Amino acid sequence: MNRKKIELILGSLTIVCAFFSWWSVAQILKVAGASSWTTSIIFFMLLWVFICLDIALFEDIVFLELLLFGSLLLGIIFTGSFWHIAGVFISGYFLFLASRKIRRDFELNVKIDFLKSLRSGKVLMILAISLAISAQYFSYVSQLNGQILIPRIETSGISGKIVPKILSLIEPNFKVLENENLTIDDLILQIQKSQSLNQDSQVTNSSIAQIVQQEMENQNISPNSREQFTAQVGNQLNTLNARIKNDEQAVIMKESRQQLSTLVGREVQGSEKASDVISQLIAKKIENIFTPNIIGKQRSSSIAIVLAGILFFTVFSIGSLLSVVSFLLSWMIFSNLVRFGLVVIKTVTVEKEVIF
């Protein structure tokens, strides 16, 4: 297989992955409930892999840059906005800089170091992809007249572990959340118990003593029988008090579940893990802050800019981690192409200027 065929295959795969990458972002924005970025992450990782291979293997720099720009331009199909086009041009500029920096590193190396050369353009590549995604999001959101949809990355598993630790630092009563098996009902009982234990004990002992003393005086009970009478009355009052507490706990449980259901936006049964429900509650509050009903174009644009900025930094941070995986995948493919003789690495003699 010659070099032109490899370029044609890589170029085709790049365009296909680019199309589905931007399509997956459009689906998240347009389809209610499509809030998971898992599919988009997979497509963008594949796109990144093929872009890396394109930069390393394409001989014609003009054809390469047209392909890179075209892979970004495909997203306009789903928005058709001026701001998206402007964002694509800026993103394309950074992607061109990244490709030229990587190719320059390949040329300057005495020995081919695939991963080292890719790392030289890593930041510019992440910046280009992040800007393109944010531009598509801003273009779509700024055209909305109603409620803004905030794309979110599913992190319930992570937040379920982090949130309890943060809350336990703020309020000691929430230390119980660090127990992964703790349910909502257990949490309500423990908080209620910790808040009322001392007070209930003092009130109960004082009330029992007063009642027993008054009854013994009214009934003229002899000193020898007072101990037995005190124990009998105390047992009856403790039994009655326990029943009252059980009834109060049942009422508190029901009211607490109803309040949590209202706050979280779904029915809370009480058997759910407390850490998961608290994490959902925090996420719901954040959504309520950043998802107002927009009235007026100016306010919509302002909110869109803020949310696009948040999305940009989020994608940039995640891209820094995922780039490592993408680089490794592209390196593995490149190594196998060399291993099977589809790509050949040769040693050549070059003339070079030096300063004496």
Residue pLDDT, tens place only, 153-207: 444 444 455 555 555 555 555 555 556 666 767 766 766 666 555 444 444 555 5
Within a domain: residue 36? yes
* Residues 177 and 237 reside in one and the same domain: yes
> Using the 8-state DSSP alphabet, how is residue 183 labeled?
B
Whether the model pTM is above 0.85 = no
On the question of pLDDT at 356 being above 90, the answer is no
Same domain for 46 and 94? yes
314 and 175 share a domain? no
Closest CA to 337 of 326, 346, 325, 345: 345
pLDDT digits (tens, 9 = 90+) for 294-337: 444 444 556 667 777 878 888 888 888 889 999 999 999 999 99
Let me know whether 36 and 144 are in one domain.
yes
**Residue 353, domain member (yes or no):** no
What CA–CA distance (Å, rounded) separates 330 from 51? 9
Identify the bridge partners of residue 147 per DSSP, sorted by sequence position. 293
Domain assignment present for residue 119? The answer is: yes
Sorting pLDDT into bands at 50, 70 and 90, what band is 290?
very low
Q: Bridge partners of 293?
A: 147
Owning domain of residue 313: 3-150+293-339
DSSP string, 225-275: HHHHHHHHHHHHHHHHHHHHHHHHHHHHHHHHHHHHHHHHTS---S-SBHH
One domain, residues 285 and 299: no
Give the chain's domain count.
Answer: 2
Choose one of 248, 266, 289: the last residue of a domain.
Answer: 289
> Are residues 283 and 297 both part of a single domain?
no
Do 137 and 189 belong to one domain? no
If asked whether residues 124 and 160 sit together in one domain, one would say no
Q: Does residue 354 belong to any structural domain of this protein? A: no
Q: Do both 197 and 96 map to the same domain?
A: no
